[in-house]
Structure 1
Amino acid sequence: MFSEIMVSVSAQPRVELFVARTAGPAERTLLVIHGGPDWDHSYLRVPLGELSGRHRVVLPDLRGCGRSSRDLPDDQYTPDAAVGDLVALLDALGASRVDVLGFSYGGLLAQRLALAAPHRVRRMVIASSSVLPVPPDAFAGWREREERRADEARVWSDPTLSGPELTRAAAFAGARANVWRAEALPGYLERLEAVRFSAEWMRPWQAGTLPTARPNDAVRRLAATGTPVLLLQGRQDMTFPAALAVEAAASLPAARVVLIDEAGHMAHIDQPRAWLDAVVDFLS
């Protein structure tokens, strides 16, 4: 279903992106931007692979992630550099105008891409992410969230863990917070086993030098572009509150909100059919 290629997107520094893609018409390209950012794209292949033929689904690993170029200087891991890579990737693939799906951290990068090159984005899906900043008290009083996130918090504070080992351990420890339905958890853990975790972006993040990925004044600026936006969220998301999607849509004339019941941050794992149906309906 997926073919895999390496695509050069920068000469200085030299950066190649590992890209998985399906067959499909170039004029119906769907660029998918993964989250993490120190993950890879693989956890999003299902159910998006079902769009093969109708869409050319393009899933790159960001610089420093998965099988893309690593070992760059820390100051080369920035949201703007990642967006520049994605624009260069579209050029290399001959995709002048595409649909974009950004998941979690990738949703912030998708917004930056739509603002930096609005003529390149036909429609945008912001999945399990947010246009609005998350207030410090957004989850106040949600006891179950505190319980589910406790294991991951302990991993991040473990002084014996570092590098990709820390990223991987945190992902597994956070699984119960990211997947709402207990019956979906085993499949999610199996999917995590295949992820090629890195820690390239973690270094500048821990040093406090990683610029924020969230665009300034995103709601107003995205509204000005007129880009149709789907805010796709699990109702039980413990990372980005579902209520923020509803609030943002009120100020985005071209926005649509789909909240999926019985679904957490990894809504495509909890409710894959409802999640994919929402994407298909929006892109059609």
Structure 2
Amino acid sequence: MTVSEQLVRVGPAVELFVARTTEAPGSCPLLVIHGGPDWDHSYLREPIVERASRHDLIFPDLRGCGRSTRGLPDDHYTPDAATADLVALLDALGVRQADVLGFSYGGYFAQRLTLAAPERVRRLVVASSAVLPVPPDAFDGWAERDRRRAAEAEVWADPSLSGPDLTRAAALAGAEANVWRPEVLDASRERVSRVRFSAEWARPYLAGTLPTARVDRAPERLAALGLPILLLHGRQDMTFPAELAEQAAKLIPSARAVVLDEAGHMAHVDQPARWTAALADFLDRP
């Protein structure tokens, strides 16, 4: 399998770094949108690259992330701007229609892309993310979550850390909360260690100026489109409650939820074979 890498101009001041496979000509491409948002796409390559024989895979780094354009004014890091970049990327790559997978925070961008340009999306996968708002008390009483998330909270409160050093340290400290199975923790940390972290989005977030990425009335609006939607989740997700995926599937007739047991937020790391099987079952349907 060959993965090509290129910079693609999507606006006057923005280039997106894109990793791409092109071994399945004539197939519907799969656009993969990472989360973070101050991460890059690399932590999602495995196991998604197993789909390279069935899809041309498109892995962009969002603006301000990884090897894409950084150094923009803080008010240029918005969900609307990132969504517009993704539409422009499809245009620049000559992709008329794609399957779209958004992971975690990228799941919000995937929903926004689908609603902004529904004709460009064949199927939508919202992975380890949410369609419904997360209630403030969603995780109350979950002592194991409190224990696992404590180390990351300490990092964010450390005044000696800033910039990419802060986001990297927080991600590594949060690894135990992002996977559920202890036996994959070391591999997950090693995967995270290879990410090219930025802190472009963290600045407006910490300043309280970053607009919400959550889509208003998302279930109603997605249901109106009628396109197939997979809500792929880990049962022990400590970022977005798994119950929300199941609730959303009941509100969207064209959606179905697949919730994997013994899997946390990084469900693709906890249960790669089952995660990939669920993705294949959804994407390979006529």
TM-score by length of 2: 0.97
Give the Cα–Cα distance (whole angstroms) in 1 for the partners of residues 71 and 147 of structure 2.
Answer: 36
Give the Cα–Cα distance (whole angstroms) in 1 for the partners of residues 143 and 3 of structure 2.
Answer: 41
- Aligned letter for 1:16? E
Deviation at 1:207, TM superposition (A): 1.1
Superposed CA RMSD in Å reads 0.7
Aligned to 2:9: 8
Give the Cα–Cα distance (whole angstroms) in 2 for the partners of residues 62 and 41 of structure 1.
Answer: 8
Aligned to 1:17: 16
- Aligned letter for 1:132? L
Give the Cα–Cα distance (whole angstroms) in 2 for the partners of residues 99 and 26 of structure 1.
Answer: 13
User: 1:210-249 to 2 correspondence within 5 Å?
Assistant: 210-249=210-249
Give the Cα–Cα distance (whole angstroms) in 2 for the partners of residues 117 and 26 of structure 1.
Answer: 21
- Aligned letter for 1:35? G
Aligned to 2:157: 157
Aligned to 1:269: 269
Aligned to 1:192: 192
Going from structure 1 to structure 2, the CA distance change for 1:108 and 1:26 (only over 3 Å counts) comes to farther
- Aligned letter for 2:4? S
CA deviation vs aligned residue, 1:65-112 (integer Å, no higher than 9, x gap): 000000001111000100100001001111111100000000011000
User: 1:113-132 to 2 correspondence within 5 Å?
Assistant: 113-132=113-132
Give the Cα–Cα distance (whole angstroms) in 1 for the partners of residues 152 and 26 of structure 2.
Answer: 40
Identify unmatched segments of 5+ residues in structure 2: none
Identify unmatched segments of 5+ residues in structure 1: none
Q: Is the 8 A contact 1:184 1:270 kept in 2?
A: yes
User: 1:101-180 to 2 correspondence within 5 Å?
Assistant: 101-180=101-180
Give the Cα–Cα distance (whole angstroms) in 1 for the partners of residues 49 and 3 of structure 2.
Answer: 8
Give the Cα–Cα distance (whole angstroms) in 2 for the partners of residues 271 and 27 of structure 1.
Answer: 26
Give the Cα–Cα distance (whole angstroms) in 2 for the partners of residues 213 and 104 of structure 1.
Answer: 11
- Aligned letter for 2:272? P
Deviation at 1:113, TM superposition (A): 0.5
Aligned to 2:66: 66
Give the Cα–Cα distance (whole angstroms) in 2 for the partners of residues 143 and 260 of structure 1.
Answer: 21
Q: Is the 8 A contact 1:101 1:107 kept in 2?
A: yes
Give the Cα–Cα distance (whole angstroms) in 2 for the partners of residues 25 and 236 of structure 1.
Answer: 37
- Aligned letter for 1:3? S
Give the Cα–Cα distance (whole angstroms) in 2 for the partners of residues 26 and 65 of structure 1.
Answer: 30
Q: Secondary structure at the match of 2:237?
A: coil
Q: Secondary structure at the match of 1:28?
A: coil
Give the Cα–Cα distance (whole angstroms) in 1 for the partners of residues 257 and 19 of structure 2.
Answer: 28
- Aligned letter for 1:75? D
Q: Secondary structure at the match of 1:53?
A: coil
Deviation at 1:2, TM superposition (A): 1.3
Deviation at 1:184, TM superposition (A): 0.5
Moved over 2 A (4+): 24-27
- Aligned letter for 2:78? T
Q: Secondary structure at the match of 2:132?
A: coil
> Number of residue pairs matched?
282
Q: Is the 8 A contact 1:27 1:95 kept in 2?
A: no
CA deviation vs aligned residue, 1:185-204 (integer Å, no higher than 9, x gap): 11111111110000000111
Deviation at 1:26, TM superposition (A): 5.0
- Aligned letter for 1:5? Q
Q: Secondary structure at the match of 2:251?
A: coil
Q: Is the 8 A contact 1:27 1:97 kept in 2?
A: no
| Percent of residue pairs bearing the same amino acid type | 68
